Amino acid sequence: MSAGSEITEDQLYRIMYGSIAFEMLHAASELGVFDCLARTPGAGTLDVGEAIGLDPYPCDILMTGLRGLGLVLGDESGMSNAPLVDQCFVKGEDGRHLPFIHDIVNPGMREFIAAARQSANLGLEHFPGNGDSLYDRLESDPDKLRSLHDHLRATSNAVLADLIRTDVLATSHHLLDIGGGTGTNAITLAKRYPDLRITVLDLEKVVTEAAGNIASHGLSDRIAVQACDVFDDALPTDADTALLAHMLPIWSPEQDRKLIRKVHDALPDEGRILLFDPLQNDERNGPDYAVLFPAYYLTIASGHGTFYSWSTYEDWMREAGFTRFQRFGDLAVAHGLHVGVKQS
């Protein structure tokens, strides 16, 4: 369904019964349907059932549903994966999102109404443990923690590849990776751009782990780490580019605007800020991922956080003093790269 278009009856019912549609996808991935059809395109329903160990009746239910959803093409006498299914679930890593949705998102989202009424992440009741965030609670549930990390890793791999494809860093010399975590992005970018120096800024316990990861890749001479509370501490002033990847959505607008102003003040003339996140369109009615996923932040993850629109980011950058802007859209997982240039 395109953003802003009038909904059809079929689309309405697909939303109403979306949990069943997801379980069809999840089952096909877990039971090996997509791998089976990748190996033997043209297989019929009975062939698939025999290959994956399902009786004819449940296999017919599953395969009929998958064809109705457009995930599988053909009829019961001969089927193949849709090209996007081959790309995402056979050759790609999208299957790593499914346990996260099945084990974490779907149970927790049952509390969305209560969470909306109380403006609190009441979906946490489905995850025993201590703490006020999902990340705290999952410390006592290694299986679900693994599902979360697999989801985050698959997302990071997909979107970082698209960031590199923009080649926006080709002219950068020194990059501040603000809130750069354990160095995953910095390591990948350093390997792609051998003349780029990077400084990872994050809290002390985080950059300690980052330093170890960076050393294990032999990149300690090009990637530095600096313990820094980026909201309260001074930022380095010797970089020409600053990257904020997946940083702004988890904080309040007031904190985000303060941070963007700090980055502006730390950069030289012609310095650039790179804001890299899932981004809503300027009408705030799409893409689907960018307008739907914030409900997970409210209900489960933390009780706060959202994705913003392109125009919101541009307003914040302009307010901070940036004067030229560039948008790189249509990246993986509804991501966009919004660039602001400082010019005196």
- For the stretch 179-225, pLDDT in tens is 999 999 999 999 999 999 999 999 998 999 999 999 999 999 999 99
How far apart CA 141 and CA 119 sit, in angstroms, is 25
What pLDDT score does 1 carry? 58
What pLDDT score does 3 carry? 65
pLDDT in tens, 135-189: 899 989 999 999 998 998 899 889 999 999 999 999 999 999 999 999 999 999 9
Q: What is the pTM of this model?
A: 0.89
pLDDT in tens, 246-291: 999 999 999 999 999 999 999 999 999 999 999 999 999 999 999 9
- Set out the domains of the chain in order of their start, with CATH numbers: 9-91 (1.10.10.10), 134-172+240-342 (3.40.50.150)
Q: What is the mean pLDDT of residues 41-56?
A: 98
How far the first Cα of the chain sits from its last, in Å, is: 44
* pLDDT tier for residue 11 given thresholds of 50, 70 and 90: very high
